[in-house]
Amino acid sequence: MTSMNAEKVGILDRGRIKEGFWADLTLFDPRTVIDRATFEESQQYPIGIPYVIVNGVIVLDDSEHTGELPGRVLRGPGYEPGP
């Protein structure tokens, strides 16, 4: 689901659970996930996603945001910096 997409854009150290790769993981039960966001209230966390790990740092712990923000911008081979 993720490794093929990462390979397509040349990001070779993501998309797999493997030593030396960045750990980006979302743990969920597809039977219980519910998106609560609406057009009027788009900033709503979904229900049923208890854990999210970004770059090896726990961001969502037992469905509570830890305050950590370890994400970073990933730029593929088509990126061209602006003027």
Q: Which pLDDT tens digit goes with each residue over 36-76?
A: 999 999 999 899 999 999 999 999 999 999 999 999 998 87
Q: Is residue 40 part of a domain?
A: yes
Q: Is residue 46 part of a domain?
A: yes
How many domains does the chain contain in total? 1
5-9, 21-25, 63-67, 75-79: lowest mean pLDDT where? 75-79
Strand arrangement of the beta sheet that strand 57-61 belongs to? 25-27, 51-54, 57-61, 64-65
Q: How many CA atoms lie within 13 A of 60 on its CB side?
A: 14
Q: Is residue 51 part of a domain?
A: yes
Q: Is residue 2 part of a domain?
A: no
